[in-house]
Amino acid sequence: MGEHIIKLPDVGEGVAEAELVEWHVKVGDIVREDAVLAAVMTDKATVEIPSPVDGEILWLGAEIGDTVAIGSPIVRLKVAGEGNVKAGGKPTEPAADTEAPAAPASPKPETAPAPKPARPVEAPVKAAPPAAAAKPLSTSSVGAPRAEGEKPLASPAIRLRAKEAGIDLRQVSGSGPAGRIGHEDIKAFLARGPQVAKASSLARNDGVQDIKVIGLRRKIAEKMTLSKSRIPHITYVEEIDVTALEDLRAALNKEKRPVGAERPKLTLLPFLMRAMVKAIADQPNLNALFDDEAGIIHQHGGIHIGIAAQTPSGLVVPVVKHAEARDIWECGAEVIRLAEAAKSGTATRDELSGSTITITSLGAMGGVATTPVINHPEVAIIGVNKMMVRPVWDGTQFIPRKMMNLSSSFDHRVIDGWDAAVFIQRIKTLLETPAMIFVEG
């Protein structure tokens, strides 16, 4: 039997460290070769770390949320055969730990006792429901919250247990003398579940839950802070009559697909993307990245449109590369493909980076206007608001038209308000007269 140490592999170009976001294994687990051990997150993508060998997990070298340097040991396994840790060879930190539990650099032996005190709390939680639900005791132990300011009466042991189980003791009524809360009361409260706490509503809740900002949420937070603190935004809102566009879209979607061509159902996005491509042809300075430290605007020929997408784990921005070289069907197909990859978490690092301008859409949610945050270091972002039928005055009467607002932000350091308005007006013209989108030259 030997030991095998797995170090964090290089997960992407030029990345020196990655954040550990998930463990798929725990100490004591038996893993097979290629089984996923952990997931780490780089700037954009989540990367899974597979096991190169069969073995039993002895040690995990980081906690969720830790930033781990590429090349540092993250897992130690017990394997058949020699393993990759030489006995008496170069002493590596984790190797020293197993044989000598007192070694100071060992996170495992020291952190191991910590979860213990939590166990007595967990056990009754799991064990309680079937037994306690039948007990008549539960009626008396669930009652009105205490008067404001009145502290619940309970011994320190009970208070500690409640704290660790996340229970607000003010919502637990005690069956003991003078309303003292006993262990049985806690048990009954836990057995009844959280809806009981809700039943005794209107209780003041001073609870504070500390939630560590890790993983994608941390990346989003950092990115947004960077964007908002570095870029002076100017936001321009314009309404667009998309009645004609919607008619065209419906007609195109109805049209019989040519045999062999994979044509997706078109949403509004591909039209907007094509309109943007046309507008950028007149104003190439909108399709740019601003390196403000160097004082250089990198104006790109290729139009790579980022599409902000909501996924179960948070906001990601997959990128439709070279929109200028894709027709409306290709744009549509690429948007669908990327959205699915983003939602299932299979989008690659490459697919999630390299945008030169971004579209964000909260259209599905409604809302009249938004103030989109520019995807740093880009200089423009186009926000789509919900399309709705509104009455429009045509000079003689109100007529129902399909209207949609665009809320767009620009980096005011390099884009003047006038230019921003010209850009949006051009898009407006294109979308309101959609045939123009297809006119070449």
Partner 1 sequence: MREISCKLLVIGAGPGGYVCAIRAGQLGIDTVIVETGKPGGTCLNVGCIPSKALIHAAEEFEKIAHMAGGKSPLGISVAAPKLDLAKTIAWKDGIVSRLTSGVSGLLKKAKVKTVQGWATFRDGKTVEVETETGLQVIRAEVIVIATGSASIELPFLPFGGPVVSSTEALALNEVPKKLAVVGGGYIGLELGIAFARMGSQVTVVEALPRVLAQYDAELTRPVVKRLAQLGITVMLEAKAKGLSTQGDALLVETADGKNAKLAADKILVTVGRKPVTEGWGLDQIDLDMAGKFIKIDDHCRTSMRGIFAIGDVTGEPMLAHRAMAQGEMVAEIVAGHKRSWDKRAIPAVCFTDPELVTAGLSPDEAKALGIEIKIGQFPFAANGRAMTKLGEDGFVRVVARADNHLVLGIQAVGQGVSELAASFGLALEMGARLEDIAGTIHAHPTQGEGFQEAALKALGHALHI
Smallest distance, partner 1 to C-beta of residue 111, A: 5
β-pairing, 305-307 with 398-411?
unpaired
Set 24, 66, 412, 419: catalytic member: 412
User: For partner 1, what does the binding mask look like between residues 137 and 176, x meaning CB under 8 A?
Assistant: --------------x-xxxx--x---xx-x----------
311: burial class by Cβ within 10 Å (0-12, 13-18, 19+)?
middle
CB of 110 to partner 1, least distance (A): 3
- Range in contact with partner 1 (rule: CB under 8 A) among 48-56, 106-114, 127-135, 366-374: 106-114
Q: Site for partner 1 (CB under 8 A): which residue of 147, 178, 259, 261? A: 178
Residue 117 binding partner 1, by CB under 8 A = yes
> Could you say which of 114, 211, 259, 439 contacts partner 1 (CB under 8 A)?
114
Residue 163 Cβ, how far from partner 1 at the closest point, in Å? 5
Min separation Cβ 8 and partner 1, Å: 21
Pick out residues in 32-71 that bind partner 1 (CB under 8 A): none
Nearer to partner 1, 120 or 302 (CB): 120
**Could you say which of 72, 111, 205, 371 contacts partner 1 (CB under 8 A)?**
111
CB nearer partner 1, residue 164 or residue 350: 164
For 36, the token pair is 């996923």
Counting residues that bind partner 1 (by CB under 8 A) gives: 20
Could you tell me where the DSSP H helices lie in 135-287? 137-141, 156-165, 183-192, 194-199, 215-230, 243-254, 268-282
First to last CA, the chain: 72
Our CB check for partner 1 shows the closer of 89 and 113 to be 113
Question: Least distance (Å) from partner 1 to the CB of residue 374?
Answer: 28
The residue annotated as part of the active site, out of 10, 291, 350, 416, is: 416
Q: How would you label 156-178 residue by residue, b for 16+ Cβ within 10 Å and e otherwise?
A: eebeebbeeeebbbbbbbbbeee
Spell 26-38 as b/e; 16+ CB within 10 A means b. eeeeebeeeeebb
Any catalytic annotation for residue 412?
yes
Give the nearer residue to partner 1 in terms of CB position, either 14 or 177.
Answer: 177
Q: Which of 53, 59, 156 is nearest to 98 (CA)?
A: 59
**Residue 153: CB minimum distance to partner 1, A:** 4
Please identify, using beta-carbon distances, which residue of 65 and 232 lies nearer to partner 1.
65
Phi, psi of 69 (to 5 degrees): -75, 145
Please state the closest distance from residue 113 (CB atom) to partner 1, in A.
Answer: 8
Q: Which is nearer to partner 1, 107 or 264 (CB)?
A: 107
Contact 432, 241 (CB under 8 A): yes
Determine if the peptide bond prior to 377 is cis (ω within 30°): yes
Query: Which of these ranges, 108-116, 220-228, 311-319, 351-359, lies near partner 1 under the rule CB under 8 A?
Result: 108-116
Non-local CB neighbours of 247 within 8 Å, separated by 6+ positions:
none
The two three-digit tokens of residue 252, written as one number: 């195109």
Distance separating alpha carbons of residues 105 and 93, to the nearest angstrom: 7
The reply to whether 110 sits near partner 1 by the rule CB under 8 A is yes
The CA distance from 419 to 400, in Å, is 31
| Cβ contact 354:374 at 8 Å | no
Kindly state whether residue 179 participates in binding partner 1, applying the rule CB under 8 A: yes
Task: Determine the residue type at 137.
Answer: L
**What are the distances in angstroms from CA 271 to CA 135, 252, 301, 375?**
64, 12, 20, 21
- Binding region for partner 1 (CB under 8 A) out of 23-31, 110-118, 137-145, 331-339: 110-118
CB of 43 to partner 1, least distance (A): 23
Phi and psi dihedrals of 240, rounded to 5? Answer: -130, 135
Residues 97 and 58: their CA atoms lie apart, in Å, by 10
Is the Cβ of residue 42 or residue 106 nearer to partner 1 in the bound state? Answer: 106
Return the closest-CA partner of residue 276 out of 441, 424, 435: 424
Rule CB under 8 A: choose which of 7, 24, 78, 180 binds partner 1. 180
Q: Nearer Cβ to partner 1, position 109 or 264?
A: 109
Q: What are the catalytic residues? A: 412, 416
Residues that bind partner 1 (CB under 8 A): 104, 107, 110-111, 113-114, 117, 151, 153-156, 159, 163-164, 166, 177-180
